[in-house]
């Protein structure tokens, strides 16, 4: 497992003299690592219920995991696979459901970690059970090694024990999908309460050794050759409706600059071509605002018929520019689809885009296929270049800090904003925080964490770099979205270098006000938690939350951990005045003030 951190680190080329070799050892090096992505799935107890299902059980992993699964760390994600078969895939990424490594810092000693556990099945009177799926190793994430494997276990209700059913070693990282099929052990046919478990055996230390699944089916009266696909599907989904931005402040909106006449998508005709080919009505859509009103749509499209099967076909998804004018925050929802053939996994026939226009800018698609960090050097630094449509007052930055095997204990960073110099690199320092911020994982269900500037606001020009300078030590890694290539830079106290790696750093600056879940003038995004008194000066009290809870300040530093299984009391008399965030282990959040 000693190759875990050898994935394409880049440094400046130097001549092989002793002096230049020693100089190179002091220079920073950028590298990419592999974090988790997608929505975390809740962990459920492995308890048998009286509600068993009848096969078949099918999951194409489009948009989300089937509700019947019990997932431990497995996520459904788009844009992770090489040459995707459909919209989504199940990703075994080495990260637990809470976003941390199973055993931080441990790279060897491969362990059984991520797992998908099926519901229970009633197989009474049925025979010849077969489980099949399509498998890709690595994808755009971390390649597997021969010491890694994917395994399948079957639950025997007669003995109340798991039995090994199938396994495949890693190390085959061709970027191709391969059909896999395994027979249900003969003695389990006909039993009530059978289930199966698919699990990754790999490094427990972080987001390594990735396996991807698509088109899973468990059924009876099947053979091992029943793996052929027969499904037209969208294979690539665009990240945004507007040109260049996944998010931007609503008051910066310019239809002339942002609205497009088409979206870059792709679709795929999986399986053998039927006689005459599939007749697909490609390109239908509805575009709605947050009130449910339609701002644009298309229901009449030409029929597309061809025999180009088992290959991704680019498709420019034509749009009518709606000529939008905004008077306040807005979130648009777009649904695009094709019809004409009622075959295959119908959920793959539709694609969805959510386009928020609130208070922040975003260039990434919200999903990190890898993570980016700067190692070596003294006080390593990194920054993402932004072009804002207006100069405006910056209030803070949302960062997607993701674990990739490093221990961040005691590590801090300073937020920075730099002007763009004549070479296109970070130049004049416009802002460098006096405060030291602590790296913290995102809140549940949101890939970003808020970091508020330690000033009331900073007026920034339209073109800037935004990033951080970290304390010397292990790389503090940021999410890296590989679906969009933009300009970024890295370096240390001695200077900046242009990044040579693809992708976009998951950095989203917000303007003018605080995000709704931090502002005391707004309700939090999740259900409220009654805290009193609020503001507090000496103590704070709250209700039972069913488990532990944590409190953070606006610099991301954890101030307290509470045993909130029952009503609780907290002494805040020594805390600095300011705004704080309480987060339960269920992802609920509530802000409160301390005033002295």
- Strand-pairing partners, residue 10, are 30
CATH code, 580: 2.60.40
Question: How confident is the model at residue 40, as a pLDDT?
Answer: 36
Q: What is the pLDDT of residue 374?
A: 93
The residues pairing with 510 across neighbouring beta strands, listed in sequence order, are: 360, 396
């200077």: which residue's tokens? 495
**What pLDDT is stored for residue 15 in this prediction?**
26
Q: Which residues contact 279 (CB under 8 A, 6 or more apart)?
A: 303, 304, 305, 340, 341
pLDDT for the residue 488: 98
Chain centroid to Cα 313, Å, comes to 25
430 & 334 share domain: no
CATH classification at residue 299: 2.60.40.10
Q: Are residues 220 and 121 part of one domain?
A: yes
pLDDT score for 20: 35
State the total domains in the chain: 4
Helix (H, G, I), strand (E, B) or coil at 251: helix
Beta-strand pair 211-219/161-169: unpaired
Rounded-to-integer distance, Cα 87 and Cα 266, Å: 10
Is 578 inside a domain boundary? yes
* Contact criterion met (CB below 8 Å) for 488 and 363: no
Which CATH number covers residue 62?
Answer: 2.60.120.260
Backbone region of residue 426 per phi and psi (left: phi > 0; alpha: psi in -120 to 50; beta: other values): beta
| pLDDT for 486 | 96
Instruction: Give yes or no: residues 410 and 268 share one domain.
Output: no
Angle value at C-alpha 356, between 351 and 362, nearest 5 degrees: 100
Burial class (CB in 10 A: 0-12, 13-18, 19+), 281: middle
* pLDDT score for 529: 83
In a domain, 348, yes or no: yes
Domain limit, last residue, from 329, 357, 385: 357
Please indicate, yes or no, if residue 11 is contained in any of the structural domains. no
When computed from its CA atoms, the radius of gyration of the chain, rounded to whole angstroms, is 25
- Confidence at residue 364, expressed as pLDDT on a 0 to 100 scale: 94
Q: Are residues 259 and 403 in the same domain?
A: no
Successive 10-residue mean pLDDT values, the chain, 596 residues = 36 30 55 47 39 89 91 88 93 81 72 92 96 94 90 96 95 89 96 96 82 96 94 91 95 95 94 88 95 94 88 93 94 94 90 94 89 88 97 95 80 95 96 90 74 92 97 87 93 94 96 76 47 88 88 81 90 88 80 84
Token output for 391: 């100069």
Same domain, 291 and 426: no
Report pLDDT for 34. 45
340 with 396, same domain?
no
Instruction: Give the residue numbers spanning the domain of 575.
Output: 539-594
Q: Are 520 and 578 in contact (CB under 8 A)?
A: no
| 207 found inside a domain | yes
432: domain CATH number is 2.60.120
């Amino acid at each position: 497992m000693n190759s875990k951190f050898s994935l394409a680190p880049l440094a400046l080329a130097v001549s092989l003299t002793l002096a230049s070799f020693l100089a190179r050892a002091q220079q920073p090096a950028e590298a990419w690592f592999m974090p988790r992505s997608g929505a975390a799935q809740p962990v459920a107890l492995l308890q048998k219920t009286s509600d068993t299902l009848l096969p078949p059980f099918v999951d194409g992993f489009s948009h989300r995991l089937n509700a019947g699964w019990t997932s431990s760390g497995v996520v459904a994600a788009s844009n992770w696979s090489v040459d995707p078969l459909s919209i989504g895939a199940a990703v075994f990424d080495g990260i637990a459901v809470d976003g941390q490594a199973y055993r931080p810092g441990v790279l060897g000693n491969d362990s059984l970690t991520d797992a998908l556990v099926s519901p229970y099945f009633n197989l009474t009177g049925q025979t010849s059970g077969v489980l099949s799926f399509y498998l890709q190793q690595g994808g755009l994430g971390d390649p597997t090694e021969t010491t890694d494997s994917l395994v399948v276990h079957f639950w025997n209700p007669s003995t109340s024990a798991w039995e090994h059913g199938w396994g495949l070693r890693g190390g085959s990282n061709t970027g191709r999908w391969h059909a896999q099929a395994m027979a249900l052990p003969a003695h389990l046919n006909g039993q009530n309460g059978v289930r199966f478990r698919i699990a990754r055996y790999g490094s427990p230390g972080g987001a390594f050794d990735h396996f991807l699944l698509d088109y899973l089916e468990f059924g009876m009266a099947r053979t091992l050759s029943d793996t052929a696909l027969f499904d037209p599907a969208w294979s690539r989904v665009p990240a945004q409706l507007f040109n260049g931005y996944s998010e931007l402040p609503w008051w910066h909106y310019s239809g002339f600059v942002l609205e497009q006449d088409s979206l870059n998508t792709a679709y795929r005709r999986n399986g053998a071509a039927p006689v005459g080919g599939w007749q697909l009505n490609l390109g239908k859509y509805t575009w709605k605002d947050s009130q449910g009103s339609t701002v644009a749509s298309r229901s009449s499209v030409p029929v597309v018929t061809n025999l180009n099967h088992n290959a991704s076909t680019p498709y420019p998804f034509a749009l009518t520019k709606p000529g939008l004018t905004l008077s306040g925050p807005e979130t648009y929802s777009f649904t695009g689809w094709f019809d004409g053939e009622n075959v295959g996994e119908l959920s793959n026939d539709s694609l969805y885009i959510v386009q928020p226009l609130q208070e922040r800018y975003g260039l990434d698609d919200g999903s990190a296929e890898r993570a980016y960090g700067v190692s070596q050097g003294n006080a390593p630094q990194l920054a993402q270049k932004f072009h804002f449509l207006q100069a405006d007052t910056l209030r803070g930055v949302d960062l997607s800090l993701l674990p990739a095997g490093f221990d961040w204990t005691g590590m801090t960073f300073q937020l920075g904003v730099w002007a763009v110099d004549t070479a296109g690199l970070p130049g004049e320092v416009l802002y460098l925080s006096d405060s030291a911020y602590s790296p913290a994982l995102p809140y549940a269900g949101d890939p970003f964490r808020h970091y508020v500037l330690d000033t009331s606001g900073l007026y920034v020009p339209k073109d800037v770099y935004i990033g951080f300078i970290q304390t010397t030590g292990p790389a503090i890694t940021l999410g890296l979205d590989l679906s969009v290539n933009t300009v970024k830079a890295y370096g240390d106290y001695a200077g900046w270098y242009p990044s040579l790696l693809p992708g976009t750093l998951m950095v989203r600056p917000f303007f003018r006000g605080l995000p709704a879940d931090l502002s005391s003038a707004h309700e939090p995004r999740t259900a409220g938690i009654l805290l009193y008194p609020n503001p507090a000066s000496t103590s704070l009290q709250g209700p039972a939350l069913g488990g532990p809870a944590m409190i953070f300040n606006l610099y991301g530093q954890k101030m307290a951990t509470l045993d909130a299984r029952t009503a609780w009391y907290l002494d805040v008399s020594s805390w600095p005045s300011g705004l704080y965030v309480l987060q339960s282990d269920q992802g609920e959040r509530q802000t409160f003030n301390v005033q002295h």
